[in-house]
Structure 1
Amino acid sequence: MPRFRPIALLACAAALMLPACASSPYTGPVEVTRFVAPDSAGLGQGTIMLSFPDEVGNAAARSAFTAAVGKELAQLGYTVVPEGVPAAQTAAIRTSRNAIAAADTRGNPVNVGVGGQTGSFGSGVGMGVGINLGGGRESPSVLTDLAVRITRTDGETLWEGRAQLATGVKSPFSQLTTSAATLAAGLFKDFPGGNGETVTINAKKLQGS
């Protein structure tokens, strides 16, 4: 009988681990797409003003993304000034948070579509995306999106980028300040990036960057 005890103990341990696995939070990678103008002279230097072209009714979201984007731009070499203060360049910020609804539960991986907005940061509309749900047991529930366009005073666009992150409700990256900081860090990583490139970055690797 004693020789079977280790197997029984292992079976019990595995059974105890199942609930933890089943409840592990889902955090997808940060997906980033960027475009760089042929004449991008002046990027990463001089003064830049932050602006929100669309109304952002959530004051906490506006504050979080202002801080996150401002921090990244300052690290690139810009002198960041508040909205309304004249500057050589402008960084127009758009952000939203939308609900994700499973579009197809047959097979693996699962295709995901974005449904109506829940807890939206502003007036952004839903968009269709494909997300591979490999890894993690919790399903993604929200997609947080950040887009920034950098223009000169004459309106010429120098750079434009967009980052998005799908998370489950239990993911620490669903927290407002964490998602804002993570998206901004991913968006400006290796700035300005390649024109038209799309890259995916592990969200955890962007923490503290």
Structure 2
Amino acid sequence: MVKPIPHFRPSLALCAALALAGCATAIAPIEVTRFHIGNPATTGAVAVREMANNPDVGLEFRTYASAVGRELQRVGFTQSSDDGAEYVAYVSFRRAFRSPIDEGKRKPVSVGVGGAVGSGGYSGLGVGIGIDLSGPPKGMVTTELAVQMRRRADGVAIWEGRATTSAREGSPAAQPGLAAAKLASALLGGYPGESGRTITVK
């Protein structure tokens, strides 16, 4: 008698690991630029504050501010909410949506010779009438995180940097929570970094 093959049921831990792996691979490259003079401080109490004229405020800003605070602690600072902190890290972020370029030039139906299946979501039918099955194009979401560190005593900026990434609308990389953590990690990882150089972090 042939025994039935038991049904495979992946564990919750495995599912979670696969989900995290999927999120990790979905993150787009991040462009990072940093500036500083000499050897800026790497220890001391720092308070995280909103940068003046920050275009986006509210609950989403707190997500980015918290991510910056965590990364500052990783590189040696002590996060403090007290006004007597030695340094202040001013944080700003913005998210911009860019619609598909030349969207009006897309042709939902094309006529050609033959009935082959082509690239770009076109399915050949009969005598070469191709119907675009890819759906409406997705726009791009660009997220930028900027941080400036200043000495509280004299207000002099000792370090500043900017990290930018773009992701397809609706993708995991375009979600604020994931973008905040990745941008802060890329920006402050290897602090203080090489001044005046733009690098790509994947």
Corresponding residue number in structure 2 for 1:198: 198
Shift of 1:26: 7.2
RMSD, aligned α-carbons? 2.3
Counterpart CA distance in 2 for 1:179 and 1:150 is: 21
Shift of 1:54: 2.9
Q: Name the SS for the 2:146 alignment partner.
A: strand
Over the matched positions of the two proteins, sequence identity in percent amounts to: 31
Structure 2 CA distance for partners of 1:55 and 1:162, relative to 1, 3 Å? closer
The reply to whether residue 88 of structure 1 matches residue 112 of structure 2 is: no
Corresponding residue number in structure 1 for 2:98: 100
The residue type equivalent to 1:50 in the other structure is V
Q: Name the SS for the 1:74 alignment partner.
A: helix
Corresponding residue number in structure 2 for 1:186: 186
The residue type equivalent to 1:147 in the other structure is A
Corresponding residue number in structure 1 for 2:149: 150
Corresponding residue number in structure 2 for 1:66: 65
Larger radius of gyration: 2
Shift of 1:38: 2.6
Structure 2 CA distance for partners of 1:27 and 1:155, relative to 1, 3 Å? same
Counterpart CA distance in 2 for 1:78 and 1:104 is: 47
Alignment of 1:46-65 (within 5 A): 46-52=44-50, 53-55=52-54, 58-65=57-64
Counterpart CA distance in 1 for 2:56 and 2:93 is: 11
Shift of 1:66: 1.6
Maintained 8 Å contact 1:48/1:91: yes
The residue type equivalent to 2:188 in the other structure is F
Shift of 1:145: 0.5
TM-score, normalisation: structure 2: 0.64
The residue type equivalent to 2:156 in the other structure is E
The residue type equivalent to 2:63 in the other structure is A
Corresponding residue number in structure 1 for 2:164: 164
Corresponding residue number in structure 2 for 1:28: 28
Counterpart CA distance in 1 for 2:56 and 2:161 is: 23
Unaligned residue ranges in structure 1 (runs of 5+):
1-24, 106-137, 203-209
Counterpart CA distance in 2 for 1:168 and 1:99 is: 10
Alignment of 1:102-141 (within 5 A): 102=100, 141=140
Aligned length, in residue pairs: 143
Counterpart CA distance in 2 for 1:75 and 1:184 is: 11
Structure 2 CA distance for partners of 1:26 and 1:100, relative to 1, 3 Å? farther
Report the more deviating stretch, 45-54 or 57-66. 57-66
TM-score, normalisation: structure 1: 0.62
Counterpart CA distance in 2 for 1:191 and 1:39 is: 10
The residue type equivalent to 2:30 in the other structure is V
Cα distance per residue 1:140-164 (max 9 Å; x no partner): 5110000000011211111110001
The residue type equivalent to 2:173 in the other structure is F
Shift of 1:101: 3.8
